[in-house]
Amino acid sequence: MKKSLLALLAGIALAGCTDTKKQEKDLLNQVIAVHDKVMASDEQLMKNKMLLDSLIKNNSTAINKDSAQVYLKLVDDADNAMSDWMHHFDAENKGKSHQEIMDYLEAQKKLIAKIDTQINTAVTGSTKYITQIPAK
């Protein structure tokens, strides 16, 4: 009886250490957490995009059109990067091995972190530019 109980406990302990589904879920949750952080910045990105677009289309004399277009491109590129990532991200990973899933999620975590940096740079730069435009 002691031997079977010991074997059962050892099996449970070993299974707990190598719970691949838990590892995959934890890594997926990390990716989603970065995604959620990025989405929080997305609202300001869209506001800046609309403001810059409006300033350029209305030929505002208060702006340097070339500078405004540079910031609009920065904002558009960040928005497109996020959109592309969201359309290509596969949270299910059906038919893949544990290692393939872990490699994929690690790569996605790095990619969404890079997009986070890109969006933060676009928001910071465009906000600074917009706030320097004299109000009418």
**pLDDT above 60 (res 3):** no
**pLDDT above 70 (res 131):** yes
Mean pLDDT within 91-119: 95
The proportion of the chain whose per-residue pLDDT surpasses 90, expressed as a percent, equals 67
pTM of the model: 0.80
**pLDDT above 80 (res 81):** yes
pLDDT of residue 51: 92
pLDDT-derived band at 16 (thresholds 50, 70, 90) equals low
What's the number of CA atoms in the CB half-sphere (13 Å) around residue 109?
14
Give the chain's domains with CATH numbers.
Answer: 19-131 (1.20.140)
